[in-house]
Amino acid sequence: MTELSTAKAPISTFLSELAAGESTPGGGAAAALTGCQAAALLSMVLNFTVGRKKYAAVEEEMQQLLRRTEDLRVQLLTLADEDAEAFGAVAACYAMPRKTDAEKAARAEAMQQALRGAALVPFTIASLCGELLELTPPIAGKGNANVVSDAATAAHLAHSALLSALVNVDINLKFMKDETFIAEMKDKVTALKASAETRYETSRAVCAQVLGVAI
């Protein structure tokens, strides 16, 4: 999605770019936008809670949570473009000259640096989605009960976005040479997946209890 800002483009434009036979935007950008929607849904639940007399006892907590979900929404929207840019840098390396040994070495070094960025951006996306899953239980448990189904939807979206983003981390690590970096990132991915599953199940349980239906 060269020269197109996800934040400013109509969703139809983004989807057309996503469907096109181009390498960007791709799965990482889609994951970021999905996480962004999860954040927006949690904000909606909070906006239906803040200022309501019935929820006055949790007003301050809800306001704090709203500030955080809105911050995450903005960050994830920005990361949709950053992911496209990061992978664009990888794609650009393939066009670098490689006739001489010096050119081959420069290309290889540039590729490794680009792959590092292409792994770190989706990991950040996944980490922020993990935070959304952490925020879901208190929002669903204490927020406006009339819109908790939207918090449940947010949990599903955040969970899917997190796993989708991590696919992009793993595929870029596959082509890297820095064994220390690879090992560190794999440990972080494993830890994030484990914490995400716990948070996801907790989110589902809280939402199900409030709604009285299985989710």
**pLDDT tens track of the chain, all 215 residues?**
345 578 788 999 999 999 998 888 999 999 999 999 999 999 999 999 999 999 999 999 999 999 999 999 999 999 999 999 999 999 999 999 999 999 999 999 999 999 999 999 999 999 999 999 999 999 999 999 999 999 999 999 999 999 999 999 999 999 999 999 999 999 999 999 999 999 999 999 999 999 999 98
List all residues 6 or more positions away from 136 whose beta carbon is below 8 Å from its beta carbon: 42, 151, 154, 155, 158, 199, 203, 206, 207
For residue 163, the enclosing domain spans 23-211
Looking at the domain assignment, is residue 9 inside a domain?
Answer: no
Say which CATH number the domain at 27 has: 1.20.120.680
Looking at the domain assignment, is residue 13 inside a domain?
Answer: no
pLDDT at site 203: 98
pLDDT at site 4: 58
List all residues 6 or more positions away from 178 whose beta carbon is below 8 Å from its beta carbon: 112, 116
Q: Domain count for the chain, please give it.
A: 1
DSSP SS3 for 11: helix
Looking at the domain assignment, is residue 8 inside a domain?
Answer: no
Looking at the domain assignment, is residue 138 inside a domain?
Answer: yes
Looking at the domain assignment, is residue 96 inside a domain?
Answer: yes
pLDDT at site 2: 43
For the chain, the C-alpha Rg in angstroms (whole number) is 20
Looking at the domain assignment, is residue 107 inside a domain?
Answer: yes
pLDDT at site 52: 97
Whole-model pTM: value is: 0.94
